[in-house]
Structure 1
Amino acid sequence: MPNHQNTPETPLDSVFHALADPTRRAVIQQLSKGPATVSELAAPFDMALPSFLQHLKVLEDSGLMTSKKSGRVRTCEMDIQNLSAAGGWIDHQRAIWEGRLGRIDQYLNKIHPKEKD
């Protein structure tokens, strides 16, 4: 079995890591409605602000969001480029498996034809 511990992380790896957490997925869902301040994003969560900020850092490091500071207010915005790359990877995997399942279905129909009524 290959050892992946020393494999460098790719942008796709960091996106899936970011999306693996339900808090971060909820933040992305909120940002899909438009930009929001850190306070607005943190409001639904029962956690200390420093812990929540760590979630935002993971999202920003993965390229799923950007943030800008204006005075004392930090506003976050979704960046869909890396999310689109993850969606493309998932679509590719789905196509592979749909093709395989289609071939299995054809094979099974060939060896066990359905009876006609």
Structure 2
Amino acid sequence: MLDTTPLTTAVDRIADRLRALPQSALRRGAAAEGLALARDLAVRAQRLEFPGEPPRPMPDAGVFAVGDQVAVAGADLVEALRRLPTAEAEPLLAEAVTEVAAATRRIG
């Protein structure tokens, strides 16, 4: 069984960080970075869940919603990865963890 703990932990950490940031930090770019991450995670999940269909874009719900958007998109990706054979899911999981870590560094 695939251990998705690294992705779940990383997503929870950045989502909590985004939820805790002051409005000024969110408006200076943290929210945009978070939304880009949420959109990336959502596209990854949709490609696994609905292969061959174009992904639906995640809307911009505002700076105060971005932490929740990251959390939801991350959870969707975790569930999609769990449905794959482990050998197929492991590299996709590693890529997603790397992307979340990079976004976390950019947000600070």
Query: TM-score normalized by structure 2?
Result: 0.30
**Higher helix proportion, which one?**
2
Query: TM-score normalized by structure 1?
Result: 0.29
**Higher strand proportion, which one?**
1
